[in-house]
Structure 1
Amino acid sequence: EIRFPAGAGIAGDVAKTRAVANIADAYADARFNPDFDKQTGYRTRSVLCMPVSGSHNELIGVIQVLNKKGRTGFDQEDESLLEGLNAHISVALERAQLIEAYIEKDRVLESQNNAKSKMIDHLSHELKTPLAVISGSCVLLQKLAAAQDPQRTHMIAERLQRAIGRLVELQLEACDIAAQRPFTEETVLTDWLRRCQDLLESIGDEQNAPAWLRERLAQKIAEIYAQDVNQKPEALLMDVWIPQAVEALRPDFDHRLIALEQQLDAVPAVVLPEPLLFKSFRGLLRNAIEATPDGGTISLALREVSGNVKLDIRDTGVGIDTELQEHLFHGFVHAGATDHYSSGRPYDFGAGGKGLDLQRLKLFSERYGFKLSFASKVGAGSVFSLEFPPALLRPRDG
């Protein structure tokens, strides 16, 4: 395969001018490029070249024949013959382009369908687990209330709160995503969660749950519809803010035997809403910890790169399967089959999540203008990077 820019050589000139070129001596033509002969060892003498046009007279290529046998050049009859062949070539090329476009469209649709199936499968799993806990807990509470066992009643109530918390977290993440990019899925998720609320109220009534418990359930689920209005940008010194954020999150992962290294340079301040930045950092740190077995290391590196401020969160965990990396920011995508992840205590190794953290962070980055990227290798770990451009930076003393 030999590539050259449009307008270069005889073929390039024909593509540009849409005029037939019939040349008896190629080396006598200023447009001819002898480098191709040098590369191939071929000796070009005569050339007949003409444009190939599509059904709407658009250029789709050129056809070129070389070195007519027995004569010094091509004649008018040769041009007519090539023109007739050209018509068949044009149809074949257009059909080939249509087939390629159809194959690509089919590939995209298949990819979207796979992502949708994963989302539905994962969402079903996420809702099924807490709802099962809630249903069973309501039955036990009713029995324990009758037996007057306050201690066990309190333990079950806490379990119930944790299950509701999973529903709350799921809807809040979906709400953040919907706020960045309105789509019909927001309506679907909200409808499902409202049905969950109706179901909980129904279960409480059926099991004669105490009135205070039913009111608390309704109140807690209603909180998921509250909107986060604290979105005012502020200048944050990341080398100061990151250790504070880590300490705020440490009680959640302090049970893990993982080394946490921090190498934070004094860089310009980043101007973003602090709640947004905290959600982004928490999501990346949690993913890194959950992907890393005990004995591993999480490294946080903050530095200035070509005028940008870059934060790297690197882990020595299991890495992400290559086939999943393409869909990582689509939402409800996790590094493993739904049935194989634990959906357990946050920050535990392999705990898994709803797969919304990265999609939410991707939408945050698109809205506020910073870059999100990652690299991963199975068995070697992953690194996720946030890169903030000069437009989001301010001097440290500003």
Structure 2
Amino acid sequence: MHRARVTAVGNTKAQAGGKWLNIIGNKAIAAGDFVWTDGRCVYGNISEGGAAAPVINTSEPYVPIFMKDGTHCLYHKGNLKTGWRDARHELMASHGSEVVFSDAYRVLDVSVGTSGEVQELKYERYSHRNGALGYWFKDYGGSIGAKLGIYFEWEPQEHYWLAETETAFEQMKYVQVLQEGAKQTAERALLELEKQAPSGEGESMTVLPEKECRITGGWYESEQDYCLFLEGNAQALYMSGRNLGIYDDRERCWQADFGTLYSLAVEYLLEMVATPKGITVLRGRHNNNGSWRLTYLPLDEEYGDPYHFVDSIKSTDLRLPDGFKVNMSRSNRERIEYMGYESDSYSYELKSPQGQKICDVDGYEPGQRMLACKLRPRTWLVAFDGKLYRVKNGEKELIEGDCYHCSTRLRPIKNYAKWMKGE
């Protein structure tokens, strides 16, 4: 709460500090008056005796925090107080007086529905496989000669997983989003393969042995308010050779005259974010993968050729619960293509729902859980990487104690006494 001078007055709003603020109370406000404001409203009442009695609430909210060991904690004014230790749960969320828990396997987020019900975001994965690949050899004898080929063990198949358990198409909530993510990844794999494949070959074929997409993180409030972090994988395969053709005698196979078959495989990984507005591609990487199995291109290991980093965005806002955002910006523009995931490649900045900078966030990666709650003007409670911070004027102060928590929202609670007692 701070004082500001009114520069203009409307019917129910007053302008102060360059912003239009709602007028709360019954005191008449005029241009030139000094008023109390929290940055959103102007506060002031007139008592029956006629004396001005500004309504000022400077106390910080009470925010429930649920620890991994089941302890109910409460944040207030820089302190984390310990309450009742209850049963352990994977995740906890609160909204008003409602508190919900989740113990679902591979649950990524839990939130409170409009009727107080538990809403869970679970891990989902979709894949389209065109069979298992391998070399195939057959000697036809005589003038026909020997053929070398690449075979496929089965017809194309689609698979769906919910919380790591294979399930039916109808059980998937985000199958259309995942199919689109897989499609975009496959398109990039084919484009990269086209760049690398030899030109001028008379006989050649291209196929997509596998494409898939999975949810790696995110949150959900409603059909109009959610954010999913996706990772897509795809492989594109090029083949050329003399008398190249498809043969189907028990095995499905492309084959060419022995000594003429040439093949090239490109594997592509794409990081994306999906909201109700659609899918945004963040970044990706690819390599030439001779194993013909999706390896997910891990950063700490490289198979065969090194992976190549691909920029897709220079700056974008990643949505967080309750209107907060993380701005992701390319910071190291001089890196070579193998340095795309170095720690200085991107900078991350936490912003309020109104676009105000809260603080820089070192070590953040898209999909990690980050939460925030306003305490007072220019002061915030921030949760990241299992720790709690009090942020004032952009400076972070780590809240002492064992703060590894499993809260999925930071929201004030009124009945904090019941929360601390586990009621």
Above 0.5 in TM-score? no
- Structure-1-length-normalised TM-score: 0.22
Structure whose alpha-carbon radius of gyration is higher: 1
More helix as a share of residues = 1
- Structure-2-length-normalised TM-score: 0.21
